[in-house]
Structure 1
Amino acid sequence: MALPRSSALAPAKAFCEAFGLRCPVIMAPMAGSSPVALAAAVANAGGMGSCGVLAMGPEQILQWTSEFRAKSQGQLQLNTWVPDPSPHRDAAKEQRVREFLARWGPEVPADAGDATIVDFDAQVAAMIEARPAVISSIMGLYSAKHVEQMKAHGIKWFAVATTVHEALAAEGAGADAIVAQGMEAGGHRGAFKAEDAARDLVGLFSLLPAIVDAVRVPVIATGGVADARGAAAAFALGASAVQMGTGLLRSPEAAIPRVWADALGTSRPEDTVASRAFSGRLGRSLKTAYTVASLAPEAPEPAPYPVQRGLTTPMRVQAAKDQRLESMMAWAGQSAGLASAKPAAEIVAEVWAGSQDILGAVPDSKY
């Protein structure tokens, strides 16, 4: 049941008090799209800045955090993926993928699929050393040892969940908040098991109240929240905060390729698609010639993560260099068309002020 208008924002204001925020708006920790300038702008506006450290080694994590703190004394979230089991390799299938990808970019080296991931334990150790306010997980749960280490240093743990079952498991493992990720979200779907990602596709406004009713910890809404209307709806359904990714990508601080930013601004909900085409893990991106072709019946099945990520690297790098949207890894949520090209601080302020206005709240001077 939605909260009455007079109290719909009570969880959000309690969340702000608990986490030292002026507004309950969190930047999504987008791996590869978390520039310091964007995170600092969100944090300086009173929200929480973030960084997805998936591709960063320990030294890079500490360097990024140092640069952030030189620009902001605000709150920070760091995030990485919980690793999947080692992938099953099939040389013949990978060869077919390489041949297919060569139609969209440079020839793919024979060893491209040998891509490795950064040492997970080393990443977690570096994140703890960096002392953010929050470390978040996606694609699974941190071990009891990792959670104990975080909490020993006063770091809170936010866990991304795509189903009620995952949310309950995260709460049971000690998560301090649940990030309810609807299927509308851009980028990778955070299902604990890769094979569940395409099967358990639940929209945010079905998932959110179900998780709010099921757990006792704060719930953060993410996926399709790109303006005050979406945020107000999330708060009315019990969210303690909203997390925005695509909604911030057109800001100048995001500094994504211009062709990608422009396409987001004209995108309709049906102009995005969820596929395994770029990394081997299901993710939502703009519907382009490459993603459409990759989903055709005659297309080869993508390799598992991180093999597919390695195989698509030549194409992705060349597409970004050439500003070629048709083969670019252009992540986008279903509300991409609502994303504003304003500075990130203005976006954050308007989302919070606008949601208070929609819900008939009297703005508190502290917020």
Structure 2
Amino acid sequence: MWPDRRLLKLIKTELPIVQAPMAGVMDADLVIAAAQGGALGSLPCAMLSVEMAREQVNIIRQRVSAPVNMNFVCHKSVDADPKREAGWKQRLAPYYKELGLDPAAPVNAANRAPFDAAMCELVEELKPEVVSFHFGLPDQALMKRVKAAGSVVISSATTVKEAIWLEENGADAIIAQGAEAGGHRGMFLTENISEQPGTFALVPQVVDAVRVPVIAAGGVADGRGIAAAFALGAAGVQIGTAYLRCPESRVIAPARTALAQARDDSTVITNVMTGRPARGVANRVMREVGPISADAPAFPHAATGLAPLKAAAEKLGKVDFTNLWAGQAVRLGREMPAADLTRALAGAALARLSQMAR
């Protein structure tokens, strides 16, 4: 029934839908619910310790017998720059004063660690069916170990050049992440966000450039978007924003309200929240300091200075300093259980594809 079944054969799910890993706003519950609906459930592991990641995967395994995707990041670590950090704190000082916080108080460093030997050992132990990466791929030694564990390897590309590089370096499938997509840009061969193509331009060009299955991401939040992705040559879709308002997500109440009220023009690409370009619903600090600021420390250190502000504002019911990662199709999100949403999306897509085939 699906025009291209290569992804289904590769990841062995019922549906060619990948639930996007969204660090900080989800855990095993959303993975389980998406898997129960027939999608590939994805667990974001970049902000988890080895012990926490093991615990989460074990919870998933106990509750559902379906393929699991463990997701990691592969950025090159950059040490915190004290001078840059001090400048960032100075830029944020008015907010600290407003909230009655001491900018000199110690703060835990941001905890987005790149994939390393310890996490690779966990992959070898747990043997997830799929391992996905953002910001490229790990070094070849780690890649060989992941493959030897039996895991399918997927990674994100934001340009054709990145897609070709991923295929040449061992990716079994490629997520073509259009500029519409929520969350961090997966870019790793470029830093120029002004040149990032949209999904409709990117997907067919990636399909033409590589032999492996292509997964469309960005602006896909209903059956029409899924059908369009397949019409462009994709073998599957990755969906994140549409799941944010599901009851299984960990999105806090004020953020749910912001997402529900968001429009097609509510999201921007910013580096203010973490130091790396990412798309989200504009909040106060993104508007007043950014959305792009040269003052923001390198990823992930910008988040360190914002952490106390985020915590204090959230206690007041505000999301002025909270990541509201979401794509341009945020308005299409719905409040319904993730399993039901997954099946509804697939059903609507198949109906649309059937109409197109007549």
Relative to the length of structure 2, the TM-score reads: 0.91
Residue 197 (structure 1) shift: 5.0
Do structure 1's residue 173 and structure 2's residue 169 form an aligned pair?
yes
Counterpart pick for 1:102 among 96, 105, 108: 96
The alignment of Structure 1 onto Structure 2 pairs a total of residues equal to 353
Opposite residue 56 of structure 1, the aligned amino acid is: L
Residue 109 (structure 1) shift: 3.5
Opposite residue 220 of structure 2, the aligned amino acid is: V
The answer to whether the Cα contact below 8 Å between 1:48 and 1:77 also exists between their aligned partners in 2 is yes
Residue 14 (structure 1) shift: 3.3
Counterpart pick for 2:251 among 248, 256, 262: 256
Q: CA separation in 2, counterparts of 1:197 and 1:318?
A: 33
> Which stretch shifts more, 61-70 or 93-102?
93-102
Residue 98 (structure 1) shift: 4.0
> Which stretch shifts more, 128-137 or 50-59?
128-137
Is there any run of 5+ residues in structure 1 with no aligned partner, and where? 1-6
Counterpart pick for 2:29 among 27, 30, 37: 37
The answer to whether the Cα contact below 8 Å between 2:115 and 2:138 also exists between their aligned partners in 1 is no
Q: CA separation in 2, counterparts of 1:116 and 1:258?
A: 24
Counterpart pick for 1:352 among 342, 346, 350: 346
Question: Alpha carbons of 1:296 and 1:185: their partners in 2 closer, same or farther (altered >3 Å)?
Answer: closer
Q: What pairs with 1:17-56 in structure 2 (closer than 5 Å)?
A: 17-56=9-48
Q: Deviations over 1:245-281 (max 9, x none)?
A: 1110111111311221222222112111111111111
Question: Alpha carbons of 1:278 and 1:100: their partners in 2 closer, same or farther (altered >3 Å)?
Answer: farther
> Which stretch shifts more, 86-95 or 333-342?
86-95
Q: Which residue of 2 aligns with 1:311?
A: 305
Q: CA separation in 2, counterparts of 1:222 and 1:270?
A: 18
Q: CA separation in 1, counterparts of 2:89 and 2:345?
A: 47
Q: CA separation in 1, counterparts of 2:97 and 2:175?
A: 38
Q: Which residue of 1 aligns with 2:74?
A: 82
Do structure 1's residue 125 and structure 2's residue 158 form an aligned pair?
no
Question: Alpha carbons of 1:20 and 1:84: their partners in 2 closer, same or farther (altered >3 Å)?
Answer: same
Q: Which residue of 2 aligns with 1:10?
A: 3
> Which stretch shifts more, 159-168 or 91-100?
91-100
Q: Deviations over 1:194-215 (max 9, x none)?
A: x615233211111111101100
The answer to whether the Cα contact below 8 Å between 1:97 and 1:302 also exists between their aligned partners in 2 is no
Q: Which residue of 2 aligns with 1:227?
A: 222
Question: Alpha carbons of 1:360 and 1:259: their partners in 2 closer, same or farther (altered >3 Å)?
Answer: same
Q: What pairs with 1:138-177 in structure 2 (closer than 5 Å)?
A: 138-177=134-173
Q: CA separation in 1, counterparts of 2:194 and 2:356?
A: 42
Q: Deviations over 1:272-302 (max 9, x none)?
A: 11111111111111112221101279x7721
Q: Which residue of 1 aligns with 2:284?
A: 289
Residue 217 (structure 1) shift: 0.1
Question: Alpha carbons of 1:305 and 1:103: their partners in 2 closer, same or farther (altered >3 Å)?
Answer: farther
Relative to the length of structure 1, the TM-score reads: 0.89
Q: CA separation in 2, counterparts of 1:119 and 1:356?
A: 38
Is there any run of 5+ residues in structure 2 with no aligned partner, and where? none
Q: What pairs with 1:239-278 in structure 2 (closer than 5 Å)?
A: 239-278=234-273
Q: CA separation in 2, counterparts of 1:251 and 1:275?
A: 25
Identity of aligned residues (%): 31
> Which stretch shifts more, 282-291 or 242-251?
282-291
Do structure 1's residue 58 and structure 2's residue 50 form an aligned pair?
yes
Residue 103 (structure 1) shift: 5.4
Question: Alpha carbons of 1:273 and 1:139: their partners in 2 closer, same or farther (altered >3 Å)?
Answer: same
Do structure 1's residue 69 and structure 2's residue 68 form an aligned pair?
no
